[in-house]
Chains A and B, each alone.
Chain A
């Protein structure tokens, strides 16, 4: 088969992944790496390189929409990037080191386990916008980590303030590390830090997480690109397809969060992750 047809198939798969990922709220990018490795026999680190390009394109699309709506807390987002960026750089360096040490199989097993954990965590965490009252810590008060946003559905202004910044920094470093190692957005971990540690409303958490994912992916992409593991010919159809699919999902079916689709998507992701683990363990 000619190269162009491989790229067309990749773009179609990426559109479907982006569409369903947007519909379920899990994100389609997470499924791209296992698909590239299992069905296209792409080396894991090259698949990671294609995935981070996809995340960069996706976060610029969704991040700018949230910024435009002023749901993003710029101050909190930029502060937490102090933890995610070094995490991502260390993660990307670890991945390159493992590849150079011929330990890709260990990386495949680790990725399979991480994807299963994130898929299950993604299923668990849907809740409404009622959030616990936050007690701001010293840093949060000093840096002015509080704000408000207008909730169009409730038609009221919601005020918030950030709580435990030390715990949030710790979780964000872990999120950066996972994102850098495996080329995924780690949105679930980032939202956990913003939601559970800082006690921000879920809409602000989601918007701020999207804002941060771009800079985290930028750190990972920069390291992998300079190390020679970003293949643009492979990445372009995946990035364009996944971004188009995500846009279609958000425009065609706004607000739809079908539990059935979400569970089906999670099952597919878990199945692909198990295949990654089997391959990493030397299975057929």
Chain B
């Protein structure tokens, strides 16, 4: 009968791991919502005559998905660029949480769990930065 390995000594993650992840999720959400709400108010002010179907068909943020276009749009105060930034902050929030997890596992000297967090991070980057743009 195969021997089961003894349970690893349980290293409780420190309280600041929970605290920092909670803060990251809250700060990320609030920041994203502020940018998005500001962006949508400005968008509606500039596009009062546009129809619902036209807005859905055009997708106002699609032109600002590249870094150059986004930077230029933000610099010139384009509402669509700020809407794009808000969505990006919302998407980046869970990624920041994964990176925070990696930091605490590494600090706690949990090599396997640090490897798990690194793998999740790499999968997210591949999905978002490689596979997504390939589908456009």
A residues near B, CB below 8 A?
Answer: 1-4, 6-7, 40-43, 46, 53, 56-57, 59-61, 63-64, 67-68, 70, 72, 74-75, 78-79, 81-82, 85-86, 88-89, 92-93, 96, 136, 138, 141-144, 146-147, 214-215, 217-219, 221-237, 239-240
Say whether B6 contacts A141, CB under 8 Å.
Answer: yes
**How many interface residues does chain B have, given as a range?**
35 or more
Which of B4, B53, B132 contacts A223 (CB under 8 A)?
B132
Which of A3, A70, A88, A240 contacts B47 (CB under 8 A)?
A3
Which of A53, A141, A229 contacts B5 (CB under 8 A)?
A141
Say whether A78 contacts B136, CB under 8 Å.
Answer: no
Say whether A222 contacts B132, CB under 8 Å.
Answer: yes
Which of B6, B95, B116, B129 contacts A82 (CB under 8 A)?
B116
| B56 adjacent to chain A (CB < 8 Å) | yes
Q: In the complex, what distance in Å separates the CA atom of A94 from the CA atom of B18?
A: 35
Q: A57-B90, A64-B26 are in contact. Are A223 and B131 (CB under 8 A)?
A: yes
Q: List 7 A-B contacts (CB under 8 A).
A: A60-B26, A78-B113, A136-B7, A138-B5, A215-B97, A219-B127, A231-B56
Which of B25, B40, B56 contacts A64 (CB under 8 A)?
B25
Which of B10, B51, B97 contacts A144 (CB under 8 A)?
B10
Q: In the complex, what distance in Å separates the CA atom of A219 from the CA atom of B29?
A: 17
Q: A3-B47, A144-B11 are in contact. Are A79 and B113 (CB under 8 A)?
A: yes
Q: Please, what's the 1-or-0 string for B45-62, where 1 marks a CB less than 8 Å from any CB in chain A? A: 001101111011001111
Q: Which residue of B lies closest to A222 (CB)?
A: B128
List B contacts of A147 (CB < 8 A).
Answer: 10, 12
For the residues of B in contact with A, the DSSP-based class is helix
Q: A85-B120, A225-B132, A226-B65 are in contact. Are A141 and B29 (CB under 8 A)?
A: no
List A contacts of B53 (CB < 8 A).
Answer: 41
Say whether B61 contacts A214, CB under 8 Å.
Answer: no
Say how far B125's CB is from chain A's closest CB, in angstroms: 9
Say whether A82 contacts B119, CB under 8 Å.
Answer: yes
Q: In the complex, what distance in Å separates the CA atom of A130 from the CA atom of B49?
A: 58
Within 8 A of A (CB), among B111-136: 112-113, 116-117, 119-120, 123-124, 126-129, 131-133, 135-136
Q: In the complex, what distance in Å separates the CA atom of A56 from the CA atom of B80?
A: 20
Q: A74-B13, A144-B8 are in contact. Are A233 and B113 (CB under 8 A)?
A: no
Q: Which residue of B lies closest to A43 (CB)?
A: B56
Q: A78-B113, A82-B119, A222-B91 are in contact. Are A214 and B135 (CB under 8 A)?
A: no
Q: A78-B116, A218-B95, A232-B84 are in contact. Are A60 and B28 (CB under 8 A)?
A: yes
Say whether A236 contacts B25, CB under 8 Å.
Answer: no
List A contacts of B101 (CB < 8 A).
Answer: 74, 78
Q: Which residue of B lies closest to A96 (CB)?
A: B135
Which of A43, A67, A89 contacts B22 (CB under 8 A)?
A67
Say how far B118's CB is from chain A's closest CB, in angstroms: 10
Say whether B120 contacts A215, CB under 8 Å.
Answer: yes
Say whether B120 contacts A82, CB under 8 Å.
Answer: yes
Say whether A218 contacts B91, CB under 8 Å.
Answer: yes
| B69 adjacent to chain A (CB < 8 Å) | no
Q: Which residue of B lies closest to A213 (CB)?
A: B94
Say whether B117 contacts A78, CB under 8 Å.
Answer: yes
Say whether B93 contacts A214, CB under 8 Å.
Answer: yes
Say whether A74 contacts B18, CB under 8 Å.
Answer: yes
With A1-B52, A147-B10, A228-B65 known, 9 other A-B pairs at CB within 8 A are A60-B29, A67-B22, A68-B22, A75-B113, A78-B116, A93-B135, A138-B5, A227-B132, A231-B60
